[in-house]
Structure 1
């Protein structure tokens, strides 16, 4: 009996060994199909903790192989390599790069991502970003990782549109405010921004004020500043750093086409009694956009003592807008400093529009454009009135004034207006077909005596009577510098000479 039991035990052991050998000989085979892709628990890993002192945090990312065969991930790496602020850990193996990682069919793996943030390091960007890159069978995929890099107030998050947390929101100057994505002021709500507040906007983002109110309450010497979120020296005068971008996909005869459409960094869509005073908007794509077509709200915006400059497209873009304002300086834009399109009602006094754009592209647009019509999708011309609009004591100029057949002020109107559009302004108009009935007491082609266009100093320096030819009935008591204007004969533009 003992011999028999021993034999049976030996036979069982031998069977196990043979089976094990057979299994060992069946090597795991990986698919090399380039169409095989990985799936991820998220396309972006956001570390939304705001540190007030140095600290670390770890978040997970799950990677799935939902294909019917095993794959070997050729590489998993951080795009910024050893310079990255982030670290990855895969089953105890620490990056920035891990190679030849197997993943069975229907299986998954965890990647743990860590970031250490010193919020007191002012050389840090406000937003730390990197990408985890995956290569499988020559197929490249990526997951974005994002962390807040400084001690600031962060608004927005994942997704294209984020409403403010409360209906009556106030931003103050205690800490910088960083806008990530599109932050929306919802219908019938308001956002108030107090004097001295610094607002930094991440690329592709901005403020959408939808049938609601924005109150930017800067003061002389405590302006509210809107700019990009990179503070390094090379970004100090780089245009195009921020502004709302909308992605659209549509089908064509060649397949699906994707386009990105730029909108204002501050976009007033049916804005309700918005006000912007003593603000600075710089280094964006479209600084301020006002859309009020189809509404009866007037004005949608009152803008005073504000500088908008270094925009890669347009400083102030209106579509059927209703805008009042004075003492504004808009300069250096890749297209127009201001484009008032699709009609609207505009009352702007003592404003300077000076386009001396020189940031690598040749400007083809006038400094200021006004139209009262557009062509719809059916090729039909639609008319929108400019009746009631007026520009008084303004300067509209630019560095293309010396070109033949180029005007820095272009107006395209289909229907005559009952009153002049421009009174006591200095404009560049050479076109013999320009409707002169739109001008009253304006000077044409008289080059403004700016202190230094190279240094973007648009104060007037000469005593030429052309420049103090503004009409007192449109005069504003103080200029953009807070200095009193001359009684009786104020200077044109946003600055008064001493």
Structure 2
């Protein structure tokens, strides 16, 4: 009986406390504390929403308090948005904070620079959050930089459908379509004024050339990219800056999220796709980052000149492949590729390739990686079908191939097609600890017809490969190990530093690292 009375008393006590609605609340009295007195929302493009930023509001008192109002200073016309303790709005009333407790305030912004300023490419947009009013008012400042841009996107039709590009027919005869649009004449030259933001795939029409001028910035939304059609070309020609540390004249391709936390996130956009039959592509002083595939060079144009020429080009943080070439003809110098989810350089299905003073590395740490930094093949499996094509040549001179796996160079050869390659004055990571390839003639590093002046498995001493700082130390084994003839063909490194007197391997001349 006593136990039953105890249970009933306990239940009654719980009911009394849970139904209590007579908390004594004090006004805030201007005694709030904040984790930030100013919230800096990073740069956003006009009319594109920002990430969500937050700060905490503290009640340090021993008494529960109530904040009568929390509102943006610009009221309903503000381009900022608030969420306070789960309540969204631009004016929020009667927010309670328990004694010695806190609440979160979340802030976002979407602004139209045309409404803010008619003649500026960027505009510093500010507002304040007012906590309470009158003598008790406290404020937290809000600051964001709004950037104007050229926005290129597929047309949306009255029936709700969106403009698409055709990629031909699939195995069942069905048309393959992707969201995209054809660039018109006025958009076939990208300049260095406003950045460009692309939604969907921007198609370069047959017979035309897309020209990207020095200093241009091109940003892609999710699942977007550039696709160059048959008989069309792409020329992205940046310049080396007078101050190599600034690199303001290079061309940058990246995603459209400008917040720092997205600056090194792979897979934010799709690819630059140079399709079969496209021709005469040139990239110089270009950085491509955070894509799924950096460049897909699909076949060659059938001429005796390279279909794709790469100079002073960097490709970083590709979710799948940095440079994927299928039966391509590529001539490259001072190219750096690093941090790829699968392969940094995949020479697939044969082709012709010449790489001089290039750095191909892979220090991917975002998950398991089963492929090497460099994969060279003369065949391609597609379902049950096997396609083969001659690897006419794959020449690497004064290059570095390295990474955080034991073996960073793999050949995939079938006898039905030619397989020609030569590595000269290169530093390679090939540490065959399990002796898988000990009797495989493809990896006979003593065969000077295939490998000449090779440095095996010595750390190249990159500055910080995990964050794509691929310059090497002057104590690197790659220092002064280059072939002079090759260096004379590429007399300056990717930063414009002379290498003819003492050429190092890779795209960079070495430097003295500071302690």
Scaled by the length of structure 2, what TM-score is found?
0.61
- In structure 2, the residue matched to 1:305 is 312
Deviations 1:431-488 (A, max 9, x none): 322432432222222221223334532222144555422111211100011100043x
> CA offset at residue 400 of structure 1?
1.1
For 2:290 and 2:46, how far apart are their aligned partners in 1? Answer: 28
SS of match in other structure, 2:261? helix
1:38-437 superposed matches below 5 A = 117-119=112-114, 151-158=148-155, 159=163, 160-166=179-185, 169-211=188-230, 212-220=232-240, 221=247, 222-243=249-270, 264-292=271-299, 295-296=302-303, 298-359=305-366, 361-379=367-385, 381-401=386-406, 407-415=407-415, 420-429=421-430, 430=432, 431-432=437-438, 433=440, 434-436=442-444, 437=447
Note the residue ranges of structure 1 that are not aligned, 5 or more in a row. 1-49, 53-81, 88-94, 97-114, 125-148, 244-263, 402-406
> CA offset at residue 385 of structure 1?
1.0
For 1:51 and 1:384, how far apart are their aligned partners in 2? Answer: 48
For 2:208 and 2:187, how far apart are their aligned partners in 1? Answer: 6
For 2:180 and 2:466, how far apart are their aligned partners in 1? Answer: 39
> CA offset at residue 315 of structure 1?
0.7
- In structure 2, the residue matched to 1:485 is 499
Scaled by the length of structure 1, what TM-score is found?
0.63
Residues 268, 291 of structure 2: 8 Å contact kept: yes
Residues 172, 193 of structure 1: 8 Å contact kept: yes
SS of match in other structure, 1:481? coil
SS of match in other structure, 2:375? strand
For 1:199 and 1:179, how far apart are their aligned partners in 2? Answer: 8
Residues 389, 418 of structure 2: 8 Å contact kept: no
> CA offset at residue 296 of structure 1?
4.3
Q: Provide runs of 4+ in structure 1 moved above 6 Å.
A: 84-87, 121-124
For 1:446 and 1:210, how far apart are their aligned partners in 2? Answer: 43
> CA offset at residue 370 of structure 1?
0.5
Alignment RMSD (CA, Å): 3.1
Equivalent residue pairs, number: 343
Note the residue ranges of structure 2 that are not aligned, 5 or more in a row. 1-44, 48-75, 82-88, 91-109, 117-121, 126-145, 156-162, 164-178, 241-246
SS of match in other structure, 1:364? coil
Residues 167, 190 of structure 1: 8 Å contact kept: no
For 2:292 and 2:509, how far apart are their aligned partners in 1? Answer: 30
Distance 1:311 1:464, change over 3 A: closer
SS of match in other structure, 1:306? strand
Distance 1:269 1:154, change over 3 A: farther
SS of match in other structure, 2:324? strand
